[in-house]
Structure 1
Amino acid sequence: MRESNYTPVDAVKCLHEELEKLFEGKTFSGQGKDKPLNIFDFEFPTDFGNDEDVDTVAAAAPFILVKAAGWSIDKMEEPELVDMSMIICTYQTPSRNKAEGARDMKAPAVLDLYNIMQDLAQHFRVHNIFGDYFNVLLPIDCAIQQDNTSPYYFATVQMDVTCPSMSSENNPEIEVLI
């Protein structure tokens, strides 16, 4: 018997691993330079007041925050339906001169958001099972922010994921509940 019962927490952890593989070796707009994506689960790490890092390479952006925003169970023997959200952030380093200003007109941080959203949507449309047990259902919804939060740019990708049912086969304690 497996230690876990394929909970939404397991789905978040497996999705994290899938994202690490998907974005391995890729870099995106972040503070100071292009950097690999940071991937966080559930919530951001605790901030210890390192505000001096905000515009340096040590800062968190670019990142994806993976969250199980909620889930539902209709029947004991049917899969759980998990509302999985990925919040994406890139950062456009402010221009210091005209040459950098011309570069910034192309808004690489915004383009990176679109590319990350497209990578996620394409990947999970083709590889809809991750962690061997979790199934991505269509549609996959992508949205980019409408407010101006420059130099930070945000987007979300939302998809419904099924977790295997909590049956007596993978959790003998369920017998007591049935």
Structure 2
Amino acid sequence: MAEKITGYTSEMCQQAMIDELKELFRDMKFTGQEGEKPLKIFKQFIPSPTDDDDDVDTNRSNFPCIIVSRTSGEVVNEKDPQLVLLQLIICCYDPKTDRQGYEDTGNIIEAIMQHFKRKPVFGEAFKVGYPRKWDLSDDDMDFYYWGIVNLICETPNTLKNEEVEALI
């Protein structure tokens, strides 16, 4: 039987990031299928469609959104925090022919980058470290504009090596 998970986990870091982003974008609206709408934030994946895309051209669509994806982690030694790579995958929607939808994506990226410059600690325990990277996709995906922010987050290391502790 597996031991109980204790201490801070990468999943807790991911959930804290989702909560932080919901608060950051709470009062902001972006271009939607039927006008301005709030940004949706998803954990790990966009929900699977349950119909025949009936909502794709309505404000019930999942876009614009941020997908908070927990992609990898690393513990360098027993004293350092776990480093968790969170990828914030951003997708905005803009049906206009002037193709300015990338501006919403860019503005979301800038809001995230500036927020964590001012306030790197989130969820009262996790910290966004460096480097912090972002990218805008130049793929031609009619009406959908994608970007990504890669954040390396420090998860507190509160666990002790029980074998060593028993010897002390």
* Both structures adopt the same fold (TM-score exceeding 0.5): yes
Amino acid paired to 1:156:
I
Are 1:4 and 1:10, in contact at CA under 8 Å, matched by a contact in 2? Answer: no
Give the TM-score normalised by the residue count of structure 1. Answer: 0.84
The 1-side partners of 2:164 and 2:39 are apart by: 42
TM-superposed deviation, 1:177: 8.7
Q: Given the alignment, which residue of 151, 159, 162 partners 2:151?
A: 159
Which residues of 2 match residues 1-178 of structure 1 at below 5 A? 5-94=7-96, 104-105=97-98, 107=100, 109-168=101-160, 175=162
> Hey, which bits of structure 1, 4+ residues long, moved more than 4 A?
none
CA positional deviation for 1:106:
6.5
Match of 2:19, as an amino acid? E
Change (3 A) 1:91 1:4: farther
Alignment length (residue pairs): 161
Q: 2: distance between equivalents of 1:160 and 1:36?
A: 26
Amino acid at match of 1:155: G
- Cα distance in 1 for partners of 2:17, 2:42 equals 11
Contact between 1:63 and 1:89, CA under 8 Å: does it hold in 2?
A: yes
Over the residues paired in the alignment, what is the CA RMSD in angstroms?
1.8
For residues 115-145 of structure 1, give each alpha carbon's deviation from its aligned partner in whole angstroms, at most 9, with x where no partner exists.
1000000001110000111111122111000
CA distance in 1, matches of 2:99, 2:139: 18
- Three-state SS of the structure 2 residue aligned to 1:13 is helix
Q: Deviations over 1:35-75 (max 9, x none)?
A: 10000011122321341111111100000000111001122
**What is the CA–CA distance in structure 1 between the aligned matches of 2:28 and 2:70, rounded to whole Å?**
25
Gaps of 5+ in 1: 95-103, 169-173
Q: Which has the higher strand share?
A: 2
Q: What TM-score, normalized by structure 2, do the two folds share?
A: 0.88
How far apart are residue 166 of structure 1 and its match? Answer: 4.4
